[in-house]
Amino acid sequence: MKIVSLKVPLVVRLSGTNAEEARRMLNDSGISIITATGIKDAAEKVVKAIRN
């Protein structure tokens, strides 16, 4: 993310054993990444991010 300059929001869906830890790490990283818990949640967050 620091090397590639994205011009669109990045939404990442996390699931599995360490999903909560990964979500915390991404949220604390300072990188503009939107985390989601499922496909529906990710789709809703993509739409919201595009509208903003």
In a domain, 31, yes or no: yes
pTM recorded for the entire structure: 0.73
Category of 30 on φ-ψ map: left (φ > 0), alpha (ψ -120 to 50) or beta? left
pLDDT in tens, 12-36: 999 999 999 999 999 898 888 999 9
Q: Quick one: pLDDT at residue 9?
A: 80
In a domain, 4, yes or no: no
**Mean pLDDT taken over the chain:** 89
In a domain, 16, yes or no: yes
Q: Quick one: pLDDT at residue 1?
A: 66
Model confidence band, residue 3 (pLDDT cutoffs 50, 70, 90): confident
In a domain, 32, yes or no: yes
| 37 close to 14: Cβ distance less than 8 angstroms | yes
Q: Whole domain around residue 18: which residue ranges?
A: 10-51
In a domain, 3, yes or no: no
- How many domains does the chain contain in total? 1
Which tops the pLDDT comparison, 8 or 46?
A: 46
In a domain, 1, yes or no: no
